[in-house]
Chain A
Amino acid sequence: MSPQGSTGELVSDWSLLERVVRKDEAALSALYDRYSGLVFSEAKRILRDAGAAEEILQDLFYQVWRTAERFDAARGSLAGWLLVAARNRAISRLRRKTGKTEELDENGVILRVDLESVAAQNVLLDKVRGVMGSLPEGQRQALELAYFEGMSHTEIAEKTGQPLGTVKTRIRAAMETLKQVLR
């Protein structure tokens, strides 16, 4: 359930994050309730392992608790950061890569859509799935291999037997369609 203020309005991510900076556990709890499902589902989709996805989920929200003051509303969205950070950590784990995660890099994520309530998430979920379902098979496959499997365009070209240029074009075209529909 989305956290609401005393007058029934939705409390924004940044208001909650400001409270997390002041070490307000209820605010972190509200953010967790808001985004844990999305973060967990994404990590599990990549890793196909609920235990590993739960570890990533816990670590990410622990990082939010420890470093909330570093998030900069001007540089992007918390929901975006959570989704990109979850994806990067899951892919690193999937490909057994080590090394420091780029915190600042991940912080720069701008979401032009609302994900702050379950209702908004549901609407967007249908929309994005609709777009992905409508893409030509080759475009959808190339984009999913990159995002969920962490494969580079070269690896996708090798796996699918398609020329490198075709793979690049397909990924760009799929992203462009997503952008046009969500605009």
Chain B
Amino acid sequence: MEDKYVIEMRNITKEFPGIKANDNITLKLRKGEIHALLGENGAGKSTLMSILFGLYQPDEGEILINGEKVLINDPNDATKYGIGMVHQHFKLVECFTVLDNIILGSEDSKLGFVTRKKSREKINKLMDDYSLHVDLDKRIDEISVGMQQRTEILKMLYRDSEILIFDEPTAVLTPQEIEGLIHIIKNLAKEGKSILFISHKLNEIMSVSDVCTVLRKGKYINTVKTSETNTDELAKMMVGRDVSFTVDKEKAKPKNIVLRLDNVSVVDKNTKKSVVNNVSFSVKSGEIVAVAGIDGNGQTPLINAITGLGPVSSGTITLLGNDITNGTIKERIMYGLSHIPEDRHKHGLILDYSIAENFVIERYLEDRFSWHRHRLIHFENRKNYSDYLIDNYDVRSGQGSNTTARSMSGGNQQKAIVARELDKDHSILVACQPTRGLDVGAIEDIHKKIINDRDNGAAVLLFSLELDEVLNLADRIYVIYDGEFVAHFINNGLKPEDLGLYMTGSKKMKKENIVC
């Protein structure tokens, strides 16, 4: 085997206030190789990649490209060396078109005006070469997350990048999109591009990568050939203990109805199309009900209708017997709504607030967190409570309660939100992609906590694109297709195949069989 590397990161160390994010890590990437990077939340994967992309400077260590030592001071340098990156949280300008986003920063111009013709031709060719099609004239906020990601990939290719970094590209994608992406990545590697790929999904790593480097708590653990390992071994290497991928739970003991929807429809304001169609169902205390379906079949407007983030066009929603159809979010929270939102940056967190401040965002007026008739903040109690959540939910960060949310790793941001919503007094937990971006160990832990929540008498409504998660957790499952509930199952050992045809809309149960 030849010993030539396109990238060598040698003995990289990077310290942030309170934490060594990378501690003497060495990573070597061959040309045409797909190299996976695996590690728990906060292990330092994004940091290491950001160093390679010039976003951070290492405190110690060196980077070699094709055997020559280089200094990568900023992303411009990285681009110069042919390094491109798709970030964990995309960096696109929402109100620009796809085309403009791709050429932004390296646009051609004539007399100060941007000329797009040549760029468009180049991008069209790229799209054909890699079968990566996106509508170039749509605005970013009009296209799906999967398409946004394609935009990011095109952006790298447009800059002639040879080394492509993907930071958790599949976390926000649907299973279908993931398949497409894996195909694309394999194609890119075949064309001679070298790829660094971060994912928490072990089966993805197994299917896409040639080698895999494992990090734990900032330290280098091992690099293994994917063909010579298996998911259990990888999980153990990364977490340091055996991980179980299925959850044990007792049979549900449902009690009173907590949430009830009667003929709820939502009409989209812009398209005037009905995106949620006459949905009726209920969730009882002590059971986990999941809504399964392919992304974009009305889950988001339905979630928004229930949680108050969006409107209801007709029908009624009751929470603990109270009509909340048009109620404020505050009211819903008062009746016991806990909500793990789909989009952690848009809704879940105030990134510039500390983690302690984020933990009380719905509760700052409670007796415990305020004093002097709720006018003043009770800093001490807030801090203690925050420390308690950090301990119990294993939220890792540099400076504990004082860490700003922005500086935390993606997975730990997610854990913080889950902690906040689970720990708050609630009658119902609406959990949307609750384990998005979490490592296998954390997923196991959160799944246990959600089941525990059920056993303590909460109603749980789960929205997840991960079929495994749905089948693992749910006691009952509804399948949503094109805004309608098309199937209902009691989950006693269902298999993915049982749901498949309903999810794609090829099959539909009779209305009367879809009990609510």
Q: Do A and B come from one complex?
A: no
Q: Which residues of B contact A (CB under 8 A)?
A: none
Chain A residues in contact with chain B, CB under 8 A? none
